[in-house]
Amino acid sequence: MKTDSNWFDDVRVGMFIHWGAYALAARGEWLKSNEKMTDEAYDRYVKFFNPDLFNPKEWAAVAKAAGMKYFVITAKHHDGFCLWDTQYTDYNSMKAPRCRRDLLKDIVEAFRAEGLRVGIYYSLPDWHHPGYVIDARHPQRDNPVPREWQRYTEFLHQQVRELLTHYGKVDLLWFDGAYPDTAHIWDSEKLNNLIRTLQPGIMINRLPGFSAFHSPEQAIPTNGVRDVKGNLLRWEGCQVFSGNTWGYGRYGLDQQAWKSAPEIVQMLIRHTSRGGNLLLNVGPTSRGCLDNHSVSLLREVAEWMRWNSRAIHGCTIAPEEFPEPEACRYTWNPETSTLYLHLFSWPDRRIFLPNLGGKVELAQLLCDGSEILMTEHTPGNTHGAEVPPGNLMLSLPVQCPDTAVPVIELFLKQ
């Protein structure tokens, strides 16, 4: 039985949700900075932000069906607009005239009810707070003025206290935007102590010096994230469905560059096969819905997970002694000694697995539990199918099964 603290190693896939007043602008979550907007210009989005179709139970159901076991919601992004009923600023969803809801509360309750772990994203930078320094990324960077940043530090700590006090058990606190030039602002050690006191079991991300895992962004490390000695470290990759922004986008690349369902499934496998989690992002619309394109992709992920989830949940990188065949990835369940062969391209009837000769008791196609015939080393066979020493040959059906990525389950002899 695994303890609570390593839930993170089993979940493997979660939903990242970038949502806020910027969804209305539909130009990503950075538009205030990109377009050097004043507070007044940006305020229109808060004023007209009206999530009249908001139903987080629908989001949670879609996430659960896709095999997601946790989620991370942007309680506050860099624009400073808060999705919860905070007493430390009026710049929040409860006070936004057409919203007037504690969105965070509803989201947390809906996802928790589906059994998903709760993650809260909190932006360290804040482009609305009058104490936050005007750094090189700030919308007002062309008119820098000195700021009393200690006021912001206090505000940040108060808000974190609020988030970790009023929403029950929080499993993950995901900070973002800890740039080195602003590091003095967070008072990280004090912040870490505060967090630990309020939620002792929580995992922290991206608070320099106190992060429980690494979080590469839109990049999958070739061999996982490792320390200098080569030991695998905890990591989680975050990825978008389209373009290069996280908040809802209707323009440019966000509109055009959608990944396909097989690409997303492969992406998930690439993360698991290197010992990492995948946090897959959605940017709901300003009316409070997941967009249709993301939903249809998630449904395809769900369909694949329906048959193949045991090649993902609880799995990790395979032992080094089993090198991956060409165009394949392995995932490995250490508790059951089961190896999963993910085929990114369907071979012509046979595939050779190095170092697995004599080690597999049974092989089956995971989507329908049908046996795959195995042949061990056969010296002297001249018909082109000689199995090299130490290899295991799998004889595959001619036709590729109708699934985003076919998986073969290999039960190792114990």
Chain residues binding ligand GLC by CB under 6 A are 29-30, 176, 217, 238, 246
Nearer to ligand GLC, 33 or 266 (CB): 33
CB of 295 to ligand GLC, least distance (A): 21
Which lies closer to ligand GLC via its Cβ, residue 126 or residue 176?
176
- Cα 69 from chain centroid (whole Å): 10
Spatial separation of the C-alpha atoms in residues 158 and 165, rounded to whole Å: 11
- Name the minimum Å distance from CB 318 to ligand GLC: 28
- By the 10 Å C-beta count (0-12 exposed, 13-18 middle, 19+ buried), 411 is classed as middle
Distances (CA, A) of 248 to 71, 191, 405: 17, 31, 28
Strand-strand pairing, 328-333 and 338-343: antiparallel
Min dist CB 253 to ligand GLC, Å, is 14
Lookup: tokens for 411 = 């039960």
Nearer to ligand GLC, 162 or 176 (CB): 176
In 3D space, the residue among 318, 321, 356 whose CA is nearest the CA of residue 334 turns out to be 318
Nearest of 37, 216, 56, 64 to residue 138 by alpha carbon: 37
What token pair was written down for 54? 């908001």
Q: Which residue number, 238 or 394, has a Cβ lying nearer to ligand GLC?
A: 238
The CB-of-178 to ligand GLC minimum distance in angstroms stands at: 10
Give least dist CB 247 to ligand GLC, A. Answer: 7
Minimal distance in Å, beta carbon 19 to ligand GLC? 11
Q: Measured from the CB atom, is 8 or 246 closer to ligand GLC?
A: 246
Q: How far is the CB of 43 from ligand GLC (least distance, A)?
A: 20
Report whether 140 contacts 122 (CB < 8 A): no
Nearer to ligand GLC, 13 or 366 (CB): 13
φ/ψ bin of 243: left (φ > 0), alpha (ψ from -120 to 50), beta (otherwise): left
Nearer to ligand GLC, 239 or 391 (CB): 239
CB 254 within 8 A of CB 214: no
**Contact (Cβ atoms closer than 8 angstroms) between residue 169 and residue 4:** no
Q: Closer to ligand GLC at the Cβ: 244 or 395?
A: 244
Q: Per the structure block, which two tokens stand in for 232?
A: 């695998």
Q: How far apart are CA 393 and CA 15, in angstroms?
A: 38
User: For tokens 């061990």, what's the residue?
Assistant: 376
Nearest distance in Å: CB 29, ligand GLC: 5
